[in-house]
Amino acid sequence: MALTAKCLTGQEKIWVRRLEAVLLDCPHRLGLYTVGDRYLTVFDALAYETVAPPASHTIGSVLSAHNLDLGVARSAVNIYPRVG
C-alpha cells in the first residue's frame, strides 16, 4: 500500500522558508554533517578541504583526528542521512 504525504500547512511552509534562509546564510567556512540523529555537527569546511582523507575513513573520524569539529546544532526531529 502506497503512502501519500499530506501537504505542508501554512505554518510549516513558513518554517521551511525560515530554515532555508538560515542555511543559505551560513558562513562559507562552516560545514555541516549528520549521522542520522537529531544533531548537525558544525565543522571547519575550509580546513577539511585541505585534508586528503583516505576513502576508508568517515568524515567524523577525519574531523576528530584533525580537531576540526566546532560544535553541534540540535534539532527537535531526526535528520536522516541520505547517500546517493
Read off the DSSP letter of residue 28: T
Which pLDDT score is estimated for 84? Answer: 64
pLDDT digits (tens, 9 = 90+) for 13-45: 999 999 999 999 999 999 999 988 999 999 999
Per domain, the residue ranges of the chain are 28-84
Check if the beta carbon of residue 41 is closer than 8 Å to that of residue 63. Answer: yes
Contact status, residue 31 vs residue 47, Cβ threshold 8 Å: no
Count CB atoms within 10 A of the CB of residue 20.
10
Amino acid identity, residue 36?
A: G
HSE toward the beta carbon, residue 71, CA cutoff 13 A: 3
What is the value of pTM for the model shown? Answer: 0.82
